[in-house]
Amino acid sequence: MRAVVVSEYGVLPEVREVPEPVVADGSVVLKVEATGLCRSDWHGWMGHDSDIVLPHVPGHELAGTIAAVGAGVSGWAVGDRVTTPFICACGSCEQCLAGDQQVCPNQLQPGFNYWGSFAEYVAVPYAAVNLVRLPDDMNFATAAGLGCRFATSFRAVHQVGKVVAGERVAVFGCGGVGLSAVMIASSLGAEIIAIDTNSEALTLAREYGAVHTIHASADTVAQIHELGGAHVTIDALGSNDVVQQALQALRPRGRHVQIGLLPSGVNLDVGRLIGQELTWLGSHGMPAHAYPEMLDLVANGNLNPQQLITRTITLEETPAALAALTTATPAGVTVITP
């Protein structure tokens, strides 16, 4: 099969023939129909993830059709249309049994722990726990986003941030994660302040429900306070500067949700956390059992993840698109069709 292969961190990957994944007991192999380009793929390519072993195939935000079903997997058949949370949980540990598959210690992530979906085929381990059946009327490009960024933002806003109607939510970074968060928080009745350095991203944020947009600058925090301050801030980029601004922009007792990865760590003003009783919340993916609520909101038109897709590219165009994330992010979500 054809796949995007990373041979050296930070060096342009190449598209070449590699062996197809073999279907293991308890797993399925999917024909990849669509896969999103997420900044976490860029982090992996840059060498920020210690789980990756080179040579490596990235890609973790995916949808496809089942091409092979491993021994012991029941209820799934060749041809079924599915997605999977990028966190493929084991289903049998203490965390999984408590419903917290997103923090399973035995989790396997395509495109990080093993070869991912920037390829014609990808394996999904622990299929019984992780496969999510797609509604018939959902296309694969839309479904791919449910594998990572849209679902991650759904959990971050709704289950972790517990955003409710009337709250002011500041979303820092309006790429795939941030625009999803804008759409989801807006559908919950929150007042959204969207912050980005890219005017096109801010235009999209307005389309998806942001009431206020701020072009990121040294003035960002003051502008948020002029609007009354934020009840909830979301770092949807992964930046020490953004974290500092977000914590400064919160109202007393505000909640900060960290989605963006911070490979170099972060300096936290713990004194402010204590004195203002701020809450720092980490958020990681979303387990498969939580998908039906999100899929219902998509089905009844409250959430429209298909609107986030602005670009569809081929596998051959993927290495350059991945490398380009070093300098800028094109507005909206990029989907790859292998």
Ligand X SMILES: NC(=O)c1ccc[n+]([C@@H]2O[C@H](COP(=O)([O-])OP(=O)(O)OC[C@H]3O[C@@H](n4cnc5c(N)ncnc54)[C@H](O)[C@@H]3O)[C@@H](O)[C@H]2O)c1
Interacting residue ranges for ligand X, rule: CB under 6 A: 38-40, 43, 148-149, 152, 172-178, 195-198, 201, 216, 236-239, 242, 259-261, 283-285, 325, 329
Contact between 90 and Zn ion by CB under 5 A: the answer reads yes
Q: Contact, 262 vs 173, CB < 8 A?
A: no
Of Zn ion, ligand X, none, which one does residue 128 interact with (CB within 5 to 8 Å by kind)?
A: none
Number of H helices, E strands in the chain: 12, 15
Q: At what angle do helices 199-207 and 176-187 cross, to 10 degrees?
A: 30
In the complex, what is the shortest distance from the CB of residue 234 to ligand X, in angstroms, rounded to a whole number? Answer: 10
Q: Least CB distance from residue 243 to ligand X, whole Å?
A: 11
Give burial (CB, 10 Å; 0-12/13-18/19+) of 26.
middle
CB 129 within 8 A of CB 91: yes
Binding mask 34-53 for Zn ion (x = CB under 5 A): ----x-x-------------
Q: SS3 letters for 302-315?
A: CCCHHHHEEEEECC
* Nearer residue to ligand X within complex by CB, 184 or 259: 259
Residue 75 token pair = 């209820």
The three-state secondary structure class of 331 is: coil
Closest contact distance (angstroms) between CB of 247 and ligand X is 14
Any contact of residue 180 with Zn ion (CB under 5 A)? no
Residue 96 binds: one of Zn ion, ligand X, none (C-beta under 5 to 8 A by kind): Zn ion
Q: Does 156 bind Zn ion (CB under 5 A)?
A: no
- Given ligand X, Zn ion, none, residue 175, with its beta carbon under 5 to 8 Å by kind, binds ligand X
Instruction: Determine, following the binding rule CB under 5 A, whether residue 96 of this chain makes contact with Zn ion.
Output: yes
**Which parts of 51-80 interact with Zn ion (CB under 5 A)?**
61
Q: 336 and 147 in contact (C-beta within 8 Å)?
A: no
Q: How far apart are CA 2 and CA 165, in angstroms?
A: 47
Interacting residues toward Zn ion by CB under 5 A: 38, 40, 61, 89-90, 93, 96, 104, 106, 148
